[in-house]
Structure 1
Amino acid sequence: MRPLPRNTKILFFAKHCTEPYVQIITVHETKQWQSVCSSEEEEPHGDDLEDLLLPELIDRSDLLGEIQCQKLANHLPARTQGNPWRLAYSTAVHGTSLRTLYRYLSSLDSPVLLVIKDMGNQVFGAFSSHPFRVSSCCYGTGETFLFSFSPDLKVFRWSGENSYFVRGHWDSLQIGAGGGCFGLWLDADLCRGSSFPCQTFNNQPLSSKKDFTVQDLEVWTFSSREI
């Protein structure tokens, strides 16, 4: 057996194999894996801020500052890390239409990050494991989560109580459900929305007003190729 490199841990031995499967685990990755067990995560403080990832934004965001991007990047799945952020849809550029949003996302095969600023200047949204689309049933995986800067970043991950991650209609977009409420809901014109506690994420309302008016909205994708 070859000697193992420094800073590695043996995760498991493959059957009938003399070599262990090894993976370099950084302090940052360990913190990420441990945090998945919590449905609500606060932003890092103190020395942890030094571990924040600096994502590469191909386009400029009108809703997220550099520090906010760093904090969000720290909570994204490993499969998105290292890929540039590309702006797939923006109400400021493409208008206010859910149908148009679906059209611009129709060719994507990567996760998406939905960012909303309401008329109270509060920023919040959702990470979806799959691009938004019209569907007859819910779709997505446990990677999906809700977040809110209020003003500190709070992340609400999958509770495991149900799998109502995302469902797209022509007249609305729904993220998280249960107990008769949606974690995040948007209308067909992307002008009005609501956010209530739901069983999927055991979240708090993302906006200071449970029924809110959208000021601007952006959808980001994590793709190594141009849209």
Structure 2
Amino acid sequence: MPTTADSHSSLSSSPTTSKSSSSSSYFVYPVAYAVSGLLRRLSSDPEHSKGTSSGSQSLSQSVDSMDGVYTPPRRHASPFQPPPLTPLTLGGYKFNTSQSAKLLTRALAEEIRLLVPPRLQLVDEWNLMYSLEQNGVSLATLYKKCDEYRGKRGGFVLVVRDATGGVFGAYLSDAPHPTSHFYGTGECFLWRAHTLPSIPTLSSLPLPPSADTTNAQRMTTLAHPKDSDTLSPPLSEQGSRSGTSTPERIRFKAFPYSGVNDYMIFCEQGYLSVGGGDGHYGLWLDDNLEKGVSSSCPTFGNEPLSDEGTKFEVLGVELWYIGA
């Protein structure tokens, strides 16, 4: 039977033994875990190491490809095309307005239509707000006509004719009105147009000498009789009657907003101007709509719109509204 001293010594030694064993296991376990991990890595399959090396190789190739030239994927045009626009209708001319007094033709309006904002391209009717021929020579009248359209989400097409017959103008995002600051958005642009001469018809001319005339019938040229009642109508009238006349050919050039400055529209009681910078106006008209100025300006990077030069004489002015 153990004595009290023996039991006391055994009790005192047991915590020391457990403490030493726990401390030894604390250091032994990480070492054993590390050794077992090394053994597993050394005894792993060679295929696994091969896959690891191939993965690192592909990663290095992808990194190297970042320094190369990017080749975008080939894209194909969408088979879905927007429907064609409805032909334009120009309204506002008086019934007694002569054709020569009309500045804007439907062919020219279709060219301008392609450059206006898409929301306004769907509008198929343009309304004449002001015409020098119908409303008189006054810039104040033009401003007054525009008052009812201020604030609307529409567009305005300014058309000018000079003394040489040239037609040019501007598209305005806001209604012209006198104010002390510039206004308008980057949708504004300047434009000019030239009507090209029609191509003469060659159907009435005889065959050239190099043509094969073996089976050709005899052709005799006869002089027209002097009686005016028997004169045949001109070829242009014959074409218009049949509906196959040559359409009007137009050379159209536009000058969009360049982003250099925001001098789109500036109007006062004494003048109207579109574009500016460096002391130049893209288009400038006086209060009597008699004199005008057009120079190259930074706002649109345009060329002078008139063939007369920087200064020109105004023979006609029209302002059209696009919108509901």
TM range (shorter): 0.7 to 0.9
2:132 pairs, out of 91, 97, 113, with 91
How many Å separate the matches in 1 of 2:263 and 2:81? 32
CA shift, 1:138, in A, is 0.2
SS state at 1:106 partner: helix
* Structure with greater proportional helix content: 2
Matched, 1:65 2:105: yes
Matched, 1:132 2:176: yes
Tell me how large the CA RMSD over aligned residues is: 1.9
* Structure with greater proportional strand content: 1
Q: Are the structure 2 counterparts of residues 163 and 59 from structure 1 closer, same or farther at C-alpha, using a change threshold of 3 Å?
A: same
Q: Contact 2:275–2:282 at 8 Å: present in 1 too?
A: yes
| Equivalence map 1:6-25=2 (5 Å) | none
Q: Are the structure 2 counterparts of residues 74 and 192 from structure 1 closer, same or farther at C-alpha, using a change threshold of 3 Å?
A: same
Task: Tell me the amino acid that sits aligned with residue 187 of structure 1.
Answer: D
CA shift, 1:203, in A, is 0.1
Task: Tell me the amino acid that sits aligned with residue 191 of structure 1.
Answer: E
SS state at 1:193 partner: strand
Contiguous gaps of at least 5 residues in structure 1: 1-6, 9-23, 29-50
Task: Tell me the amino acid that sits aligned with residue 173 of structure 2.
Answer: S
* Residue of structure 1 equivalent to 2:28: none
Matched, 1:196 2:196: no
Matched, 1:219 2:260: no
- The structure with more radius of gyration: 2
CA shift, 1:196, in A, is 0.0
Task: Tell me the amino acid that sits aligned with residue 268 of structure 2.
Answer: H
The superposition leaves residues 31-78 of structure 1 with CA deviations (integer Å, 9 ceiling, x where unpaired) of xxxxxxxxxxxxxxxxxxxx7863222234801222111111111111
How many Å separate the matches in 1 of 2:131 and 2:156? 13
How many Å separate the matches in 1 of 2:290 and 2:144? 18
Q: Contact 2:85–2:122 at 8 Å: present in 1 too?
A: no
- In the comparison of the two structures, how many residue pairs are matched? 180
Q: Contact 1:86–1:221 at 8 Å: present in 2 too?
A: yes
Q: Contact 2:140–2:287 at 8 Å: present in 1 too?
A: yes
SS state at 2:288 partner: coil
Task: Tell me the amino acid that sits aligned with residue 138 of structure 2.
Answer: S
Q: Contact 1:54–1:73 at 8 Å: present in 2 too?
A: no
Task: Tell me the amino acid that sits aligned with residue 323 of structure 2.
Answer: S
How many Å separate the matches in 2 of 1:81 and 1:123? 22
Q: Are the structure 2 counterparts of residues 25 and 201 from structure 1 closer, same or farther at C-alpha, using a change threshold of 3 Å?
A: farther
Q: Contact 2:182–2:264 at 8 Å: present in 1 too?
A: yes
* Residue of structure 2 equivalent to 1:34: none
| Equivalence map 1:17-96=2 (5 Å) | 26=82, 54-60=87-93, 62-83=102-123, 84-96=125-137
How many Å separate the matches in 1 of 2:121 and 2:253? 20
How many Å separate the matches in 2 of 1:130 and 1:168? 11
Task: Tell me the amino acid that sits aligned with residue 90 of structure 2.
Answer: L
Q: TM-score, normalised by structure 2?
A: 0.53
Matched, 1:103 2:151: no
Contiguous gaps of at least 5 residues in structure 2: 1-77, 94-100, 196-250
Moved over 6 A (4+): none
* Residue of structure 2 equivalent to 1:144: 188
Q: Contact 1:86–1:220 at 8 Å: present in 2 too?
A: yes
Q: Contact 1:114–1:127 at 8 Å: present in 2 too?
A: yes
CA shift, 1:25, in A, is 6.7
* Residue of structure 1 equivalent to 2:276: 177
**How many percent of aligned residue pairs carry the same amino acid?**
34
How many Å separate the matches in 2 of 1:81 and 1:74? 7
Q: Contact 1:91–1:218 at 8 Å: present in 2 too?
A: yes
Matched, 1:161 2:284: no
Q: Contact 2:90–2:106 at 8 Å: present in 1 too?
A: no
